[in-house]
A and B are shown apart, each in its own frame.
Chain A
Amino acid sequence: MAKTFTDKPLHQFDQVKTDNITANVDKALDELNGRLDSNNMPVDSVGKDQLKLPANSPLNVAGPINQFGTIFPTQAYYQTYTNPAADIYTPVTSVDLDADTWSAGFNTIPELDSGLDGFPLRFDAREGMLIGCATIDWEHGNNVFDVAAGARGRGNDWWTEWQVYVNNVSVARTGNIMPRRHTTQLPFAIACGTQPVTIDVRCKINTWWAAGMPSLDVTSTDFKIFSATIWCRNQFR
């Protein structure tokens, strides 16, 4: 606390030593010259212009992935995203569920398309909170086909689930989403330390397989991703 008192009080009719004058003034000026603290400064005195300007925090990812970051005095923002195709009706990646490699468990986006290897959001967090949101425009649509008794291909076992992982810990999930094209948003918030952080999204695909239908050699439509975005706010003040 920057309080100070007269070091060598001077009294009426005292003989004044000059170095006492120096000492008394020095003590007060020492506080002014670098020791002013919370008790000296008026409340509501700090506005935008008193705080440091934001600083760019490039994340150095090339190719189809775009990433950027900005560090502010109280928070930092980071984003990774794949832009949609020029035509919003054209996917940026498709997975042939009958022929391509995918997992019955949770699949990361790079696992579905190695061209999107750089998609997970990686940055050095400061102790505080991570507050963010993933937005994925995707499709796992149904199809129809002929079986002996008529059309099939719709059911409770045809669904997709998305989750957000922070350093491999699930922090948000959608539950089962039935067949459709959907833009899904997953907000999340979790405490963090001063540590490297990796945030990614993963999906679980459950599709109906028309086993025993010899007339059909394909049973699923492609799983498609049209765009994906994760942004995160690291709040540390």
Chain B
Amino acid sequence: MAIVNNNFFEDGDIPTAAELNQPYDSAATQTGVLDPANTADNWITIAHIDNTATGVCNKLFDFVYDGTAQFITNSTSYVTVNSTGIQPSECILGYQPERDEVCRIECSGLITNVDVENNYDSTAVPPNGDRNYYAFQLLLTYDDGAGPLTLVIGEWGYSFTSMAGGTSRYWTTNDGLPENTGVGLGFQTFQFSKMLKYNGVTGIRTYTKVELQAKVNYAPNTLKVSRNNIIAVRAMR
């Protein structure tokens, strides 16, 4: 508590030089360690907030690919989207979160002309229309001091066609033949967002990066992704 004390003199007292100097010496010392006890309420205005690139209340990180090159995959396990082939869809973070901090991550992009096998929807046996699905995930890479680890922030899915997925899907035959598949859905956007909260001790964990990954549920289907971006907002204060 940076409170500066004064000496109290009454009439007739003979102050010494040291006594006279004391409050000024004390003020010189305490003004170097001012704290909330010294300030009035609500003294901070917008002009007092440090306006530098390091951020005070929030800090923004992003990955943006706005070209037309396509990332093409038939993988049934997650692979990192890489539309250009040389720059994977990774948003570099590189900071240590404080306890109870949150990181808000948003991602969006464009699916282009998907290639869809056109008869699996009518398959009479499981997984039937489940093959119709593809999915994305946002994967966080972090380090607690013992090497990189990963955490799935979230997973989200889409369908290649308008047909319903699921093994309980109803279908009938047309004169004994399977009906055709649904309408192929190309050139649609994908988008999702989620927050991540850090509950650990400040200074232990380092968030390294967030990457966008994709997979299909049935290898004969081809997923194509062109422009995509990842935005991460670190909320600090």
Chain A residues engaging chain B, CB cutoff 8 angstroms: 2, 17-19, 21-22, 25-26, 28-29, 32-38, 40-48, 51-56, 68, 70, 72-75, 77, 79, 81, 84, 88-89, 91, 94, 133, 135, 137, 139-146, 150-151, 154, 178-183, 185, 216, 218, 221-222, 224, 226-227, 229, 231, 233
Contact = CB atoms under 8 A, between A and B. Distances in A.
A222 B154 CA distance: 24
15 contacts: A29-B27, A32-B30, A37-B39, A41-B48, A42-B48, A70-B101, A84-B156, A141-B132, A142-B164, A146-B179, A151-B174, A185-B191, A222-B164, A231-B193, A231-B195
B236 A41 contact: no
Contacts, number: 258
Contacts of B100: 53-56, 70
Given A46-B48, A73-B237, A222-B166, A135 B193 contact: yes
A144 B163 CA distance: 8
Contact of B157 (A75, A137, A150): A137
A32 B171 contact: no
Given A32-B30, A38-B48, A52-B237, A143 B98 contact: no
A21 B11 CA distance: 10
A144 B193 contact: no
B4 A182 contact: no
Interface in B126-146: 127, 129-130, 132-133, 135-137
A47 B56 contact: yes
A140 to B, nearest CB: 8
A55 B180 CA distance: 56
Nearest to B50: A47
A45 B37 contact: no
Interface string B86-118: 000000000000111110101010000000000
Contacts of B50: 44-47
Contact of A133 (B37, B182, B193): B193
B101 to A, nearest CB: 6
Closest 3 CB pairs of A and B: A141-B164, A18-B9, A221-B164
Interface residues of B, number: 92
Interface of B: 3-15, 20, 23-24, 27, 30-31, 34, 37-40, 43-45, 47-52, 54-57, 98-102, 104, 106, 108, 121-122, 127, 129-130, 132-133, 135-137, 154-159, 161-166, 168-175, 179-180, 182-183, 185, 190-195, 197, 199, 217, 235-237
